[in-house]
Amino acid sequence: MSNTSVGKVLKGIGASKGIGIGRIFILQDFDSLINRKAVPDKPESELLRYRAAKDRVLFHFGLVAALIFKELGPGKGNILDVHALILQDRGLNQEIELLIHNGKKAEVAVETIFNEISERQKLAKNEYLKERFTVARDIGRQLVIELLGAHRLEVVKGKGDVIVVARALTPFALAEYPVNIKGFAVETGGLTGHAAILARAYNIPMVLGIPNIETAMENGNQAVLNGATGELIVNPPSELLTYSIGLRDMELAVKAKVRPENTSPETKDGHRVALLMNIETTRSLNTADTYGADGVGLFRSEFLFMHKETLPTEEEQFREFEKVAKALYPRKVVIRTLDFGGDKQFPAVLETGNGAAYPGLRGIRYCLAHEELFKTHLRAILRAGASGNVSMMFPMVPGLETFRKAKALLKNTIKTLESEGVRLGKTMPVGIMIEVPSAALMAGALARESDFFSIGTNDLLQYTLGIDREDSSYSDYGIFLPPSIIQLIQLVVESVHIKKKLVAVCGELAHHTMVLPLLIGLGVDELSMDASHIPSTRQAIRALSYAECQELAKKALTLETPEEVKILLKGVLDKLLVKCGHP
Ligand code: PEP
Ligand code: MG
């Protein structure tokens, strides 16, 4: 019997605005999925399963920390450093692994050890230890959820519009949500929690803090979720439902009105800088028109592999690439070949025993060491290139020799496809990313053989200075832009322009308004960034003079410390902001 009366209003806290309408889908709580009596066949494979799950959770912490940084600025994601440290604690891992070795299922071992920690810390009187207790409980929960493959939101696919209801929601689950999810109602979690941050980033309505949520409704109940007022109305009366549909449609119409200005990203003296977008999945494609992107400057194709237990087939990859190419046509789409490794560790790769190391076997090196995987990937990109607007770009190229090896493999793959009678279209431009100093220093030689270039400042900074790109003290270019990076960019631009080819910047540096006049002055032809930054960058470009930017670049090239760079760029930024109407 239903315990849900008509028009039951449940009150929580609005965590992400918007109206969501759909049928209730209750995510089963993971506790009930743990089979505590099961005995694994082989402790060794159980150990591998545990380690792979741990790596995935760690990877996810990095991903969420980056999102928090983007939304809340430096410092706020630091709690995740504590999470990561606990998760990597040697003693803790030894205890868990010992239990697994002695015949426990991985999830049971994790639960046991984290429960023990929680019990010990519950007795603690001091606030610091209590906080640690909460953190430990969260980590244990995330690990178990990951091991069980629970809270994977794919389960709602094909079920029509749904409002997902859960006692707790991990941000990991949210990282790849099916589009038929129209809202989240959750019992636990805070406004600045990672799940809430992701919901806001993805524009999905969310309400948190509804007590006893799972027993307050049933699967399939009609519901209206209001992320602004923090209400979940279960089985709304028909007038309220009609009113809510109207309200939702009005909100969507207002959002759709945000059209790109009909203006070109051109300086006052007529110098155009193309503005392209960086994408990780096909989900963000619709923002290309909203923000007026000139194309895709960087498709981080490795994200297609992110949650997959097995590597995607050629056909699966092809379909994704083709979707992007068609959606953007005739604008260009630069597909970067797989950049596994470093901070990008992927379950499917780890589980095939092909683990990519940090920083050695990363990017193009990893691919060249795994030819079959790489060929499948190349075939998919080449086939998508039949539309005529696709370019291919290799990541982490250290120099000419590696680039030539990659091109030779590409040539062979093209030959094979042609012999199979596959239609490929015109010759696909092939470019490289400049992410390591050795590539920047060899830009002259590389420019003879590569069709175009894109400077990945995230890694270039990391590898030039020997710092960790995850360290937030180095990631704000408004505060820290070392002269060595300016020199390297200048060297690359000059070497590439001599060969009459184009050079882009696609690292995070590309959208920093403070650095924009410098990049333009150095001669960078294209900037590729998260699409949401395009309108403000366009506005800033239109307020600048190319001649003045060139003067600025000349001056910047004489500077010797990040502090000097900061003072110079800050002076220019202040004037620029006034011109753009932000005194
Ligand atoms: C970069 O290194 O600047 C870049 C764009 O590549 P990724 O951030 O994907 O490593
Ligand atoms: Mg990179």
Q: 283-319: per-residue pLDDT in tens?
A: 778 778 878 899 999 998 988 876 666 789 999 999 9
CB 520 within 8 A of CB 273: yes
Distance CA 215, CA 206 (A): 19
pLDDT of residue 351 exceeding 60, the answer is no
- Given this model, what pLDDT does residue 247 score? 75
Which residue lies with its CA nearest to atom 9 of ligand 1?
A: 300
Letter for the amino acid at 173? A
Distance CA 214, CA 174 (A): 19
Q: Which CATH class is domain 247-579?
A: alpha beta
Distance CA 165, CA 403 (A): 49
Q: Range with the lowest mean pLDDT among 37-41, 340-344, 452-456, 496-500?
A: 340-344
Q: Which CATH superfamily groups domain 33-148?
A: PtsI, HPr-binding domain (1.10.274.10)
Cα 252 to ligand 2 centroid, rounded to whole Å: 35
Question: If DSSP codes are grouped into helix, strand and coil, which group holds residue 272?
Answer: strand
Written as six digits, the tokens of 545 are: 């003079």
Tell which wins on pLDDT, 495 or 150. 495
- Given this model, what pLDDT does residue 302 score? 86
Question: What is the domain partition of the chain in residue ranges?
Answer: 8-26+153-236, 33-148, 247-579
Mean pLDDT of the chain: 84
Q: How many CA atoms lie within 13 A of 99 on its CB side?
A: 18
Distance CA 459, CA 541 (A): 25
Q: What is the pTM of this model?
A: 0.61
Q: Range with the lowest mean pLDDT among 69-78, 156-165, 181-190, 203-212?
A: 69-78
Cα 383 to ligand 1 centroid, rounded to whole Å: 25
Cα 434 to ligand 1 centroid, rounded to whole Å: 10
DSSP 8-state code for residue 337 = P
Written as six digits, the tokens of 417 are: 């496809």
Distance CA 407, CA 558 (A): 37
Distance CA 472, CA 475 (A): 5
Sort strands 222-226 and 231-234 into parallel, antiparallel or unpaired: antiparallel
Q: Range with the lowest mean pLDDT among 42-46, 400-404, 471-475, 511-515?
A: 471-475
For residues 507-528, average pLDDT: 93
Q: 194 an active-site residue?
A: yes
Q: Range with the lowest mean pLDDT among 248-252, 408-412, 479-483?
A: 248-252
Q: H or E stretch including 198?
A: helix 194-201
Cα 384 to ligand 1 centroid, rounded to whole Å: 23
Written as six digits, the tokens of 130 are: 């209590």
- Given this model, what pLDDT does residue 5 score? 56
Question: If DSSP codes are grouped into helix, strand and coil, which group holds residue 539?
Answer: helix
Ligand 1 within 6 A of CB of 300: yes
Q: Which CATH superfamily groups domain 8-26+153-236?
A: Phosphohistidine domain (3.50.30.10)
SS (H, E, C) 16-53: ECCEEEEEEEECCCHHHHCCCCCCCCCHHHHHHHHHHH
pLDDT of residue 79 exceeding 60, the answer is no
Ligand 1 within 6 A of CB of 526: no
Of 59, 433, 488, the residue with max ligand 1 atoms within 8 A of its CB, to mutate for a pocket test, comes to 433
pLDDT digits (tens, 9 = 90+) for 543-556: 999 999 999 999 99
pLDDT of residue 359 exceeding 70, the answer is no
CB 210 within 8 A of CB 185: yes
Written as six digits, the tokens of 463 are: 């590898």
pLDDT digits (tens, 9 = 90+) for 360-419: 778 999 999 999 999 999 999 999 999 999 999 999 999 999 999 999 999 999 999 999
User: What dihedral do alpha carbons 126, 132, 133, 134 form, nearest 10°?
Assistant: 120
Q: H or E stretch including 522?
A: helix 516-522
Phi, psi of 56 (to 5 degrees): -65, -40
CB 162 within 8 A of CB 180: yes
CB 19 within 8 A of CB 242: no
Q: Look at the block and give the residue holding tokens 């389960």.
A: 155
pLDDT of residue 216 exceeding 90, the answer is no
Q: What string of DSSP letters covers 280-304? A: SSGGGGGHHHHHT-SEEEEEEGGGG
Q: What string of DSSP letters covers 157-189? A: TTS-SEEEEES---HHHHTT--TTEEEEEESS-
Which residue lies with its CA nearest to atom 6 of ligand 1?
A: 456
Written as six digits, the tokens of 379 are: 């075939």
Written as six digits, the tokens of 199 are: 């919901």
Tell which wins on pLDDT, 38 or 499. 499
Distance CA 64, CA 198 (A): 8
Tell which wins on pLDDT, 154 or 288. 288
